[in-house]
Amino acid sequence: MKLGGLNMFLLNDPAVIRDLLEKRSNNYSCRPDLYARQFGDNLNIALREYVIESNFNDEIWRRQRKMYHVRLNVKSADRYLPYQHCDSLQLLDDIVDRPDAWLEHIQRYTASISTTLLYGWRTPHTNTGYVKDLLEWMDVTSEALNFQLVDFYPSLRILYKLLPGWVLPNKRKLQNLQKLENRVFYDLLGKAKEKLEAGQAHPSFIRDMLTDQDQDRLDDRQIANNAAHGFGAAMDTSANTLVGFIKAMVMFPDVQAKGQEEIDAVIGSDRLPQWDDRDRLPYIRGIVEETFRWAPSPLSAAVPHAAKEDDVYNGMVIPKGSMMMINVWTLNHDRFPNARDFDPTRYTPESTLVENNSISQDSPRRMHFTFGAGRRVCPGFHVAERNIFIAVSRLLWGFNFHRALDASGKIIPINRDAVTPGLIVRPEDFECAIKVRSKSREEFIRKSWSDAQENLDSEGNFTSEFIKASFT
């Protein structure tokens, strides 16, 4: 497509993804020069330029990405399982208490996993303090990063730079976003430093960055941004994915029943599923991967790539600077029959058993493209897999999900395919009824969360004793 002065290519075929983003990754791992990068010192790792090995023209991006790869690889992701197992207990208990507020509980769960992993402290509630600030930042960022006229007509940038913010609403939003980032990100960095100096810093991404002795260590501003931007990616993605899962369970009760049947046979009713049970739950693994495919979140198209140099593919000229859009929705649907049916049996148990199959470079064999492709694939993939598997398996262990009824007893309809507008999407709001599966399971949930709270201090954070027992 030709959009003003911009060339945009929509990548709708896994073979094309393989040929361009994987095999020619040196040329297609860049990001388009979006106007939003002019703000916040261009420290958003998702938008920042890619560094080519033979020409280290962006050491900051390389060091940012290195921290994610080293600290969030599969081995490091396992290190954070105690956080995820514990916070999922509050999720279950919250739903028992107030099932109608399930969306709020899911958002708290994913926010807490994100803050604990990134900063070392939990989120018992989402409507106060720094979490409220982070959620506000995410809302503002989502709006501010939408494509602007100046992205399609780069020649207008000189005019944009000269005109004041009150003339250009989008410019004003980005300026306000930078002020919000400076305040919130530095507050979080300061709190992390205080805990580190007091010897109270729990295992976390920011602690690792602050104590890093490598010559590649990021400076304070880069550390603050690297951690906070990770929150935006982790919290929103996981929350929206779980919303898609619940929608699927409501609309496809046969899948729900089969998943519960497998859990009951393998796990039973006297304990909760653990990450270590994943190998023995092939149908649940299928539900997780089908959720990623069926309700890709938060992007209908992955963060765009760009061509570093002119290229030719199958006789088609791809000019330098062209925007390469990974059309996730199409890639996740066009290859499958009855693609809008939720069917975990699309995948063999062998394919779901290998965790990395969801980010495999053999694109035509991929189950979905929700985590992107090429060298810019989501660096938090392993943590996300654990977040979703633990929540999905435990929610199915504890609850039944049904259609909601109106005052006259009629089923309230749900639009199966409805999502919010824009590049960043989630399922549109819908109503459902969630009920605990049995009194004994309710009692087990209550006791499990009560026992877990003995490992929390008065602020709802993990005690030093729990950290020592879990991480040594």
Q: What are the DSSP calls for 358-389, one per residue?
A: GG-S-GGG-S--TT--GGGS-TTHHHHHHHHH
- Which tokens belong to 254? 């046969």
Instruction: Give the CA count within 13 Å in the CB-facing half-sphere of 37.
Output: 10
Task: Give the amino acid at 188.
Answer: L
Positive or negative CA dihedral for 444, 449, 451, 452?
positive
> How many residues are given for the chain?
472
CA-CA-CA-CA torsion for 28, 34, 38, 42, nearest 10 degrees? -40
In the numeric block, the tokens 């992390």 are attached to: 192
| Residues 237/298, Cβ–Cβ less than 8 Å | yes
> d(Cα 284, Cα 299) in Å, to the nearest integer?
24
Domain ranges of the chain: 33-251+261-277+378-471
Per-residue CA distances from 9 to 13, 134, 313 (Å): 12, 33, 12
CA-CA-CA-CA torsion for 306, 36, 144, 245, nearest 10 degrees? 40
| Residues 120/207, Cβ–Cβ less than 8 Å | yes
Is there a binding annotation on residue 378?
Answer: yes
Positive or negative CA dihedral for 257, 262, 263, 265?
positive
The three-class DSSP label of residue 424 is strand
> d(Cα 210, Cα 219) in Å, to the nearest integer?
9
Instruction: Provide the residue-wise pLDDT of the chain in tens; the chain has 472 residues.
Output: 998 888 999 999 999 999 999 999 999 988 888 887 777 677 777 777 765 444 444 677 777 777 777 777 788 889 899 999 999 999 999 999 999 999 999 999 999 999 999 999 999 998 777 778 887 887 777 776 677 788 888 888 888 888 887 888 878 888 888 888 888 889 999 999 999 999 888 999 899 889 887 776 788 888 888 888 888 777 888 999 999 999 999 999 999 999 999 999 999 999 999 999 999 999 999 999 999 999 887 566 678 899 999 999 999 999 999 999 999 989 999 999 999 999 999 999 999 999 888 888 888 888 999 998 888 888 888 999 999 999 999 999 999 999 999 999 999 999 999 988 766 678 899 999 999 999 999 999 999 999 999 999 999 999 999 999 988 7
Q: Does domain 33-251+261-277+378-471 have CATH number 3.30.420.40?
A: no
| Residues 425/419, Cβ–Cβ less than 8 Å | yes
2-3 and 316-318 beta bridge pairing? unpaired
Per DSSP, helices labelled H in 55-204 are: 59-71, 74-79, 81-97, 102-119, 129-144, 149-152, 157-162, 169-197
Instruction: Give the CA count within 13 Å in the CB-facing half-sphere of 309.
Output: 5
Backbone angles phi, psi at 400, to 5 degrees: -105, 145
> d(Cα 176, Cα 172) in Å, to the nearest integer?
6
323-326 and 305-306 beta bridge pairing? antiparallel
* 433 sits in which H/E element: strand 432-436
pTM over 0.95? The answer is: no
* Residue 67: closest CA among 78, 58, 76: 76
| Residues 135/123, Cβ–Cβ less than 8 Å | no
The three-class DSSP label of residue 352 is helix
Per DSSP, helices labelled H in 252-380 are: 253-266, 282-294, 328-333, 349-353
